[in-house]
Amino acid sequence: MIQSLDRIAIIGAGLSGLACARSLHREGRKVQLFDKARGPGGRMSTRRVETPLGTVGFDHGAQYFTARGESFRAEVARWAAEGLAATWPAAGPEAWVGLPGMNAPVKALAEGHSVAWNTVVEALTRDAEGWRLKIPEGLSGPFDAVVLALPAEQAAALLAPHDEALTARAAASRTAPCWTVMAAFAERLPVASDTLEEDGILGWAARNSAKPGRGGPEAWVLQASPDWSREHLEDPADTVGDALFAAFAARLSAPLPEPVIRQVHRWRYARSATGSEQALWSETARLGCCGDWLSGPRVECAWDSGEALARLIIDARGE
């Protein structure tokens, strides 16, 4: 008997999950998203911190994005027209950032959907009525299909009891970690450029306050290289902060002034590997995966993957 694919749960409300949700919603599907974070952004998050100098924003995940394919170029053009994105020449001629923070486009996309924030999906179960999600409050569902818009490692853990092929594909992908330091200063640092490229410990450094639409106190985001982050993944946050500060000071050839505020964040799953598929869908299990780990470590790849999975679900015959 042909069964509908009308009720769909999406685990992960980052850009990939929201791109999938929007395409499905446009086709009349009922979509419910779940995300463990407090609010929208995913790896396009912006953290706002209160300091003696006022509120400071830090784009502590993805630093910028590019738009090369037709679909994502059209979407970014829409963001720009709505004041949600602008070019950032300091990072390159094709670089874009969200306005007033990197999470702005994701936040706008999330507003049109039902999202359960602060909700960890612990497991998936399936009965005669469909899929159910085990969350702290109990079971949510039933759903006709489940989309996992998560890093590969997290997707593999949820898939393992249910689909061997999808689990194997997710388990074969590895996501590099990234230690990130956010710091604000009372005065402008003696750095001519607003960005610094990889050099040893430092994988990237950017004057966040110089991005379009930011302003405020001098604010920097320092990100460790993938190899260094992996080697020091379990180090204490203060130790990591000191090491990145020392590496940054070495690039400046001058001691760093005392920051007004310094925070350290560990992205356990930051930069995906380069894959060869846009999306995964099991029509038998009614499970799908989307995310940048399937095609490449770029924001645009996450968007394309979400749209690609939506097309697979829309075109599916059911059982």
- CA gap 104, 84 in Å, rounded: 6
* Gap between the Cα atoms of 143 and 114, Å rounded: 14
Name which of 147, 160, 117 is nearest 135 in CA terms.
117
Length of the chain: 319
Element (H, E) at 220: strand 218-224
* pLDDT reported for residue 317: 64
| DSSP 3-state of 189 | coil
Alpha-carbon gap, residue 162 to 285, rounded angstroms:
8
Tell me the C-alpha distance between 64 and 315, whole Å: 33
Query: 131 — phi, psi (to 5°)?
Result: -85, 145
Per DSSP, the three-state class of 32 is strand
Largest CA distance in the chain: 72
pLDDT tens string, the chain, 319 residues long: the values are 347 899 999 999 999 999 999 999 999 999 999 999 988 888 898 999 998 898 999 999 999 999 999 999 999 999 999 999 999 999 999 999 999 999 999 999 999 899 999 999 999 999 999 999 999 999 999 999 999 999 999 999 999 999 999 999 999 998 999 999 999 999 999 999 999 987 789 999 999 999 999 988 999 999 999 999 999 999 999 999 999 999 999 988 778 899 999 999 999 998 887 778 899 999 999 999 999 999 888 999 999 999 999 999 999 865 4
pTM (2 d.p.): 0.92
The four Cα atoms 26, 17, 42, 100 give a dihedral, to 10 degrees, of: -20
85, 105 Cβ separation under 8 angstroms: yes
Which residue, among 107, 106, 84, 88, has the nearest Cα to 96 in the 3D structure? 88
CB 307 within 8 Å of CB 23: yes
| Nearest-angstrom CA–CA distance, 188 and 35 | 37
